[in-house]
Chain A
C-alpha cells in the first residue's frame, strides 16, 4: 500500500466518522420525548406570568422553530442542519445567553480547554514514558523499582480525589497557588498571559499526575519486554552504549503502542475537561457543557458535543498520519 493510498484512506475514514457523528448529534434531540420548544415556551410564559395569548404562543413557536432549525419534515431539517453546521459551523443561538451564537461561545472556550488538556496530556505522556523507560530498561537494578512505585501509587487514585488533595496541599496548606483561580477576559497581554499560566498550573498539575502513573506502568512493561528482544541483546554485544540501546533500540520500539494510547487519551480529553473545569472553575468547553446541561441549553450542548466529536476524530487522524513516520513497517507495506 502506497503512502498516498494510506493517507487517502485515513482521511476518508475521518470524514466518514465526522459525518456519522454529526448525524447522531442531529438525531439525538429529535428522538427525545421532550420537545425543547415546549420547555422554552413554558419558561418564557412563566417569566411573563401567563400574559401570553394563544396567538402569541403560535407566533413564538413558529419563531423558535425557525431559530432552532426545527421547521419542516425531518429530512429537510437534516439538510439545512448539515448546511449550517458544515458550511458555517452554526449551531444557532444559545438559549440561556440569547442571542449569543453557540459557535462563538464554543470558540471562546475551546482554546482554554485545548491549551490546558492537550498540554497536560502531552506532558504526562512524555514524563510518564521517560520514567517508565528508565524503570523498564534498568528493571534489574533495585533503584529503578522506586520509579515504578511512583506509577503504582499514582495510578489507582481517582482523579477527583487526586485533584482535591492537590488543591488542599498546594492552595490551602501551602498557598503557593490561588485557591479560586481567576482568568482574565478580553484581549491577551503578556501580563494577562502570565496570569493565565500561573492560574492554570494547578489544574495542569492534577491532570499530569493523573495521566503520569498509567504512562509509567505501561511504558515500564513495554520496555521490560523490549529489552528481552534479540535485537537489543545484539546491540549490547556490538558494544552499543546504554544510551543508544535505551533510546534507539528500546524506546523507539516500545513507544509505538504508547503512541496509539496517546491518540486514545487525546480522544477523551473532553471527559477530563468536564471534571477539571468544574473543580477549578476553568472557562473551557467542559464548564460551558455543564452549565448548558443544567440549564437545558440544547443548542450549546449539541454544539459542544459536535466540537468534541471533531476534536477526537482530528486527534486520531493526526496520530494515524504521524504513526507511519515512526514505524517503517507500516510506511513500506
Chain B
C-alpha cells in the first residue's frame, strides 16, 4: 500500500517556483492498476517521478511525504531517500519513448544486465530473461538483436520485459504507448494487464486516452493543476463522475465500442471543443477551489 500525504513537488527556475504537484493525498492499494489522467502540464509526470524517487534539480520535494509500505534490504521501511536502492528491484519504470530508450549500439541482452538489479549472476539473469521474453510474445532472437532491428511494438515489449521480469512490487508507466499505433497500443496494454494479473504488482499508468483507462485500470486518478480532482474505482468514476472536469474528460471519450473515432473527433471539434480550451489561461490563475467552473465554460461553448 502506497500512501501520499499532502505531497508537494515544486520546480525552481531561477527564483521562480512552480508547484507542479500541490498537495496530493491518496492511498493506492496493493495489486491494483491505477490510471492517471488530466490535461497536459497538470503534474502527472511530476507525480510519477516523485513516487519513483527520481527527484533531482530543479525538482524538489517541498512538502508532505510518501510511504511505500515496502521494506528495503536492510529491513527498514523504504522512504523517498532510500527508494533509489529499490530501482529495478522492487520498483520499476516504463518510459514513454520506447523508440529511444534502448541504447542503439548495444545488444538487447546486454541491456538486461548492465544495472545492479536483483541478481548479480548475469548468466542466470540472461537465462531467465530469455525464457521470459518468449512469454511476452517476443522471439528468442530479440535478445541478441540491436534495438534498430526490432519494431516499435517489439521494443516496447522489451521495455515491459525489462520492467517486469524481476517481479517488482510497483511499476510506473508514464504514457507507455504514446509513440505506438493504436493496434499495438492495445496489445501492449493488454500485455501489461496480463503481467499484472500473474504477478499481482501495483501499476501506475499515465495516459491521455480515457478509453485505455476504461479498459485496463482498476482505479482512476483525475488531476488538474497539480491537485487531485477525483479518485475512485474506475467503474464508478466512469459511471458516475462527480466533478465537472472529470465529466468533461469522460464526455470527450468516443462512445465505447464505437469504431468511428474520426467522426467523433470531428464532431467534437465542430461542437466547439477547441474553443473551450482557449479560455484556459484566465482559469489557471484561479485557486484550486474555483476551477470547477472550468468545465461549465467548456460545456457552454
Contact = CB atoms under 8 A, between A and B. Distances in A.
B84 interface: yes
A231 B87 contact: no
Interface stretch (A65-73, A262-270, A324-332): A324-332
A253 B103 contact: yes
Given A230-B97, A329-B148, A238 B103 contact: no
A234 interface: yes
Contacts of A235: 103, 114-115
Interface residues of B, number: 24
Contacts of A233: 95, 101
B54 interface: yes
A237 B88 CA distance: 8
A239 interface: yes
Nearest to A232: B103
A282 interface: no
Contact of B88 (A239, A244, A256): A239
Interface in B59-114: 84, 87-89, 93, 95, 97, 100-106, 114
A230 B95 contact: yes
Nearest to A234: B101
Interface in A204-240: 229-231, 233-235, 237-240
Chain A interface mostly: helix
Contacts of B87: 237-239
Nearest to A327: B105
Contact of A239 (B104, B115, B146): B115
B114 A237 contact: no
A252 interface: yes
A231 B103 contact: yes
A326 B105 contact: yes
Given A231-B102, A231-B104, A328-B105, A239 B148 contact: no
A239 B105 CA distance: 19
Given A233-B95, A237-B87, A326-B105, A244 B148 contact: no
B165 interface: no
Contacts, number: 67
Chain B interface mostly: loop
Contacts of B97: 230
A282 B94 CA distance: 59
A229 B100 contact: yes
B129 to A, nearest CB: 13
Interface residues of A, number: 22
A248 interface: yes
Interface string A250-265: 0011001000000000
B23 interface: no
A253 B146 CA distance: 14
Nearest to A245: B114
A240 B148 contact: no
Nearest to B146: A328
B169 to A, nearest CB: 15
B54 A238 contact: no
A234 B173 CA distance: 12
A253 B104 CA distance: 8
B296 interface: no
Contacts of B288: none
B52 interface: yes
B116 interface: yes
A326 B105 CA distance: 7
A252 B54 contact: no
A328 B115 contact: no
A11 to B, nearest CB: 25
Contacts of B102: 231, 234
19 contacts: A231-B100, A231-B104, A234-B93, A234-B102, A235-B103, A235-B114, A237-B54, A237-B93, A237-B95, A238-B162, A239-B117, A244-B114, A248-B103, A252-B105, A253-B103, A327-B105, A329-B104, A329-B146, A332-B148
The 8 A-B pairs of least Cβ separation, nearest first, read A239-B87, A238-B115, A230-B100, A328-B146, A234-B101, A240-B115, A239-B115, A230-B97
Interface of A: 229-231, 233-235, 237-241, 244, 248-249, 252-253, 256, 326-329, 332
Given A230-B97, A231-B102, A248-B114, 7 more contacts: A237-B52, A237-B93, A238-B88, A240-B115, A248-B103, A252-B103, A332-B146
